[in-house]
Amino acid sequence: MAEIVANLNLYIVIIGVILFISVYASKISEKIGIPLLLVFLGIGMLLGSEGIGGIEFDNALLTQAIGTIALIFILYSGGLDTFWEEVKPVAINGILLATFGVLITALVMACFIYLILDFTFLESMLLGSIVSSTDAAAVFMILRSQKIRLKNNIRPLLELESGSNDPMAIFLTIIVLQILTMPQANVVSEWFFYFVIQFAIGGVLGLVCGYLFPKICQFINISQAGLYPLISVAWLFMIFGLSSLLGGNGFLSIYIAGIMTNKFAFPNKAHIIAFHDVIAWMMQIVVFLVLGLLVFPSELPEVAIQALILSLVLIFIARPMSVFISLMKSKYSTKEKAYISWVGLRGAVPIILATYPYAYKLENSHMIFNVVFFMVLVSVLLQGITIGFMAKRLGIIEE
What does the pLDDT read at residue 361?
83
Highest mean pLDDT among 36-50, 309-323, 327-341, 365-379: 309-323
Question: Which is higher by pLDDT, 35 or 99?
Answer: 99
pTM, whole model, 2 decimals?
Answer: 0.85
Name the pLDDT band for 142 (thresholds 50, 70, 90). Answer: low
Residue 281 contacts residue 40 (beta carbons within 8 Å): no
Cα 216 from Cα 10, distance rounded (Å): 42
Q: Which of 134, 19, 154, 162 is nearest to 78 (CA)?
A: 162
Cα 59 from Cα 82, distance rounded (Å): 34
Q: What is the pLDDT of residues 237-271, one digit of tens each?
A: 999 999 989 988 888 899 899 989 999 988 889 89
What does the pLDDT read at residue 130?
94
Over residues 47-67, mean pLDDT? 80
Q: What is the pLDDT of residues 179-214, one digit of tens each?
A: 888 765 555 556 677 778 888 899 999 999 999 999
What does the pLDDT read at residue 144?
63
Question: For the stretch 29-64, what's the b/e string if a residue is b when 16 or more beta carbons lie within 10 angstroms of its beta carbon?
Answer: beeeebbbbbbbbbbbbbbbeebebeeebeebeebb
Residue 140 contacts residue 159 (beta carbons within 8 Å): yes
What does the pLDDT read at residue 31?
57
Sign of CA dihedral 156, 158, 162, 165: positive
Sign of CA dihedral 272, 274, 280, 282: negative
Over residues 102-129, mean pLDDT? 95
Over residues 8-33, mean pLDDT? 71
CATH C-level class of 59-394: mainly alpha
What does the pLDDT read at residue 186?
55
List the chain domain ranges: 59-394
